[in-house]
Amino acid sequence: NAGVTQTPKFQVLKTGQSMTLQCAQDMNHEYMSWYRQDPGMGLRLIHYSVGAGITDQGEVPNGYNVSRSTTEDFPLRLLSAAPSQTSVYFCASSKTEYGYTFGSGTRLTVV
């Protein structure tokens, strides 16, 4: 049981490049979400999904796209990377009231 797996762990992008952060969970959780963590600001919700085929925007969705074609996978796409998107990105999944299980994070630097 791997839990929530995020890849890559580290990434450096040039401004304007696009990329996809991968997230997969093997717990059959319905709910999945993406957060970004910036110093002193806690975690902020980017996008979330309550099931396959259903996604919605969180607090800071601009510049990011998501899709949920399967229960297991919830990729986050950066369309045109900007330095303001330099952050640590966490994917999380949840089932009922037991709280979210977080991945180990992707540290992204945009230069």
Partner 1 sequence: GEDVEQSLFLSVREGDSSVINCTYTDSSSTYLYWYKQEPGAGLQLLTYIFSNMDMKQDQRLTVLLNKKDKHLSLRIADTQTGDSAIYFCAGGNAGNMLTFGGGTRLMVKP
19 interacts with partner 1 by CB under 8 A:
no
In sequence order, which residues have a C-beta less than 8 Å from that of residue 110 and are 6 or more positions away?
Answer: 12, 13, 14, 15, 81, 82, 83, 84, 85, 86
The tokens of 75 are what?
A: 């990729």
Q: Is 17 or 58 the residue whose CB approaches partner 1 more closely?
A: 58
Q: Is 59 or 70 the residue whose CB approaches partner 1 more closely?
A: 59
CB of 80 to partner 1, least distance (A): 26
Q: What is the largest CA-CA distance in the chain?
A: 40
Contact residues toward partner 1 (CB under 8 A) are: 4, 30-31, 33, 35, 40-45, 48, 50, 58-59, 90, 92, 94-105
